[in-house]
Amino acid sequence: MIDKFHRFGTEAAAVELPRQFTCPFCYEPHPLALMAVEQVQRYVASRTDWADEMAAGKMLGVLVAQDSEGRLGFLAAFSGNLAGSVHHDFFVPPVYDLLDPQGEFKQGEALITAINHEVERLERSPRWQELRCEESRLRAKMSAEIADYKVLMNQHKHERDARRQSGHLTVEEQEALLNQSRYEKAELKRMRRRHEEALLIITDEMGAFSRQIDALKARRKAMSEALQERIFRLFVVSNARGELCDLVEVFRPLGTLPPAGAGECCAPRLLNYAFNHNLHPVCMAEFWWGASPVGEVRHHGHFYPACRSKCKPILDFMLQGLDVEENQLGKPMMDVDLDEVYDDQWLTVLNKPSGMLTVPGKLLKDSLLTRYQEAYPGVTGPIVVHRLDQETSGLVVFAKDKVTHKALQQQFENHTIKKCYIALLEGDVPQDEGVITLPLRPDVDDRPRQRVDHVHGKPAVTRYRVLERGNGHTRIALEPLTGRTHQLRVHCSHAMGLNCPIVGDRLYGTAASRLMLHAQSITFTHPATGNTMTLTADPGF
């Protein structure tokens, strides 16, 4: 077997080892990880046979480790497959090989494909097409004949009404008119019945086809679900304690099967290989190579955290037994006082620091709201009028009573509240000002990330104005005209937006000490006094 552990040269000896292993969801790459990444990038660049596929975009990862003798080296991995294979000399193998032609996945996939072909054969059969055309013809004929007959019946009704209004009808004539009406109504029913009987012959045969097709589709669904579970049983991962667990059991506490693609990302592959080959993990990093996927924000050479929906449950298990850095995004902020910008008997405006939640989260309860409630125990809810991302700093308005809260929320809904953000971007924005219109929706496979989606996304509009350029950065003012999650971050970083990520954006750019995005000013009508209020807070960067 080819050794996947690439040992460092003497250059690594001078680098101090990290005290704890990397938190895969919030990190800055360690110098050893950067050294490993440089070697991986050189190797990938040398593979001209992969050039087109790599240029289209691929997530790569490294894991720095020590062998049993304490020697340093690294492992490398890619997500998914590369050049039609999951096995390449330089990279660790997958947790389970989905592409093995003799493997259970390919065998099961072949059976499902055979059902797909049978469904297609039935749906494309000449007799099925004939039946559909004949049904359509008969229904059209029935509609036309019934419509024509109803016109005739209506004409006769008007004639009968006119004769009755003349007042010169004998009893026999009146009975004849009534019989004509009865006959025509009965004939309409007979006409419907004749058409329905003709249709029934066709629909009965069509029903037989449909039942065959539906049965095949139901069988296909059941086989697909069973295959999915069997395959995820074959994705068996290790942790630092030497424990083993398949992905079905990993995801069981969440009450769901693993999502498609679970276990195929870099981090699980790297850790699994390390644990199975007696290597002690030291640090890791994942980076993007090539063009950004459509709708997503990925920048060539930038580092990214592990995805949460597919990888977090797996990594939570695999990292057990390792001393892992604390996720700074889940850590309460200490020694931070409330920065009060404005306060009266109706509302308070606070300057939220970067890194603090606006409201309590699932895991972290410390937030601007909880601290506000501690400082203002007499305030009754509802309180929160709007929110800022955890990593965004700036002005947040809290209402002290229900009436004020409702009035302020109404201003937000009517877009009469004006907010201005200051951001420092990586790169030079060429235009001095403009408007970005990129619709957004959540990335269901990697929350809380957002995607640009022109079909299913919600409208998102941002006005911008460049304030200053220099040293490869742009200082910019951003006015969101809508309030979508991560709107400013995506609009700045996406290739169809400004294509310049906000400095410190760990999700859409490059992580740093903080996200350089600050809600600098807010303008609204005071619900009680009617005065126009404009409040500001310096960004501090």
Task: Say which CATH number the domain at 365 has.
Answer: 3.30.2350.10
Does residue 478 lie within any of the structural domains? yes
Say how far apart CA 31 and CA 62 lie, in whole Å.
12
Q: Is 472 left (phi over 0), alpha (psi -120 to 50) or beta?
A: left
The token duo for 86 is 């999951």
Say how far apart CA 300 and CA 480 lie, in whole Å.
27
Does residue 1 lie within any of the structural domains? no
User: Which of 178, 198, 231 is at the close of a domain?
Assistant: 231
Strands 58-66 and 72-78: antiparallel
Eight-class DSSP state of 67: -
My answer on whether 216 and 271 are in the same domain is no
User: What sign for the dihedral angle of Cα 466, 438, 361, 415?
Assistant: positive
My answer on whether 466 and 407 are in the same domain is yes
User: Which of 180, 201, 231 is at the close of a domain?
Assistant: 231
* pTM of the full structure: 0.76
Parent domain of 274: 6-96+236-326
Backbone angles phi, psi at 101, to 5 degrees: -65, -25
Does residue 295 lie within any of the structural domains? yes
My answer on whether 254 and 214 are in the same domain is no
Is residue 490 classed exposed, middle or buried when 0-12, 13-18 and 19+ CB atoms within 10 A define those classes? buried
My answer on whether 335 and 422 are in the same domain is yes
Say how far apart CA 532 and CA 524 lie, in whole Å.
6
pLDDT tens digit at each of 541 positions of the chain: 458 999 998 888 889 999 999 999 989 999 999 999 999 999 999 999 999 999 999 999 999 999 999 999 999 999 999 999 999 999 999 999 999 888 899 999 999 999 999 999 998 999 999 999 999 999 999 999 999 999 999 999 999 998 888 878 888 989 999 999 999 999 999 999 999 999 999 999 999 999 999 999 999 999 999 999 999 999 999 999 999 999 999 999 999 889 989 999 999 999 999 999 999 999 999 999 999 988 889 999 999 999 888 899 999 999 999 999 998 777 777 778 899 999 999 999 999 999 999 999 877 888 999 999 999 888 877 799 999 999 999 999 999 999 999 999 999 999 999 999 999 999 999 999 999 999 999 998 788 899 999 999 999 999 999 999 999 999 999 999 999 999 999 999 999 999 999 999 989 998 888 999 999 999 999 999 999 999 999 999 9
Say how far apart CA 354 and CA 393 lie, in whole Å.
4
- Give kind and range of the element (H or E) at residue 44: helix 31-46
My answer on whether 387 and 401 are in the same domain is yes
My answer on whether 284 and 298 are in the same domain is yes
Does residue 477 lie within any of the structural domains? yes
Instruction: Single out the catalytic residue among 389, 401, 446, 505.
Output: 389
Does residue 62 lie within any of the structural domains? yes
Do the beta carbons of residue 283 and residue 21 sit within 8 Å? yes
- Give kind and range of the element (H or E) at residue 371: helix 368-375
My answer on whether 458 and 498 are in the same domain is yes
Say how far apart CA 11 and CA 393 lie, in whole Å.
40
Does residue 145 lie within any of the structural domains? yes
Active site includes 389?
yes
My answer on whether 204 and 251 are in the same domain is no
My answer on whether 303 and 432 are in the same domain is no
User: Which of 256, 291, 326 is at the close of a domain?
Assistant: 326
Domain count, the chain: 3
Strand, helix or coil at 79? coil
My answer on whether 437 and 514 are in the same domain is yes
My answer on whether 382 and 514 are in the same domain is yes
Is residue 434 classed exposed, middle or buried when 0-12, 13-18 and 19+ CB atoms within 10 A define those classes? middle
Does residue 102 lie within any of the structural domains? no
My answer on whether 117 and 257 are in the same domain is no
Q: What is the DSSP string of 251-319?
A: HGGGTSPPPTTTT-SHHHHHHHHHHHTT-EEEEEEEEEESSPPTTS---TT-B-PPPHHHHHHHHHHHT
The token duo for 241 is 């304690």
